[in-house]
């Protein structure tokens, strides 16, 4: 007999995507302007979030270099850090 757990973990790499999407919204300055994740500069993962967890996602622009933006972000749940990440985003036409 096989037992399957009802609590499935959320893939942690998707936490990075959550921060990148939020940062993209914060950095895009014109309608229809696209963006891309240029680099994951640093990432520290905590535990994986579980189904039913409420996630709090933050992202702030640390500095910009023309169309490149360095972003610091965090994902937390119940005051527990699940991810601290530093990203570089590119914004504009490719």
CATH fold for domain 33-91: Thiol Ester Dehydrase; Chain A (3.10.129)
pLDDT digits (tens, 9 = 90+) for 28-76: 877 777 889 999 999 999 999 988 899 999 999 999 998 999 999 999 9
- Each domain of the chain, given as residue ranges in start order, spans 33-91
Other C-beta atoms lying within 10 Å of the C-beta of residue 4: 5
Which pLDDT tens digit goes with each residue over 6-18?
Answer: 556 778 999 999 9
pTM of the model: 0.84
């Amino acid at each position: 007999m096989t037992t399957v757990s009802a609590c499935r973990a959320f893939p942690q790499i998707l936490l990075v995507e959550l921060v990148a999407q939020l940062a993209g919204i914060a950095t895009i300055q014109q309608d229809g302007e696209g963006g891309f994740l240029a680099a994951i500069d640093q990432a520290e993962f905590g535990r994986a979030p579980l189904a039913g967890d409420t996630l709090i996602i933050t992202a702030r622009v640390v500095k910009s270099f023309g169309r490149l933006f360095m972003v610091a972000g965090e994902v937390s749940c119940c005051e527990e850090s699940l991810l601290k990440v530093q990203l570089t985003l590119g914004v504009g036409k490719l």
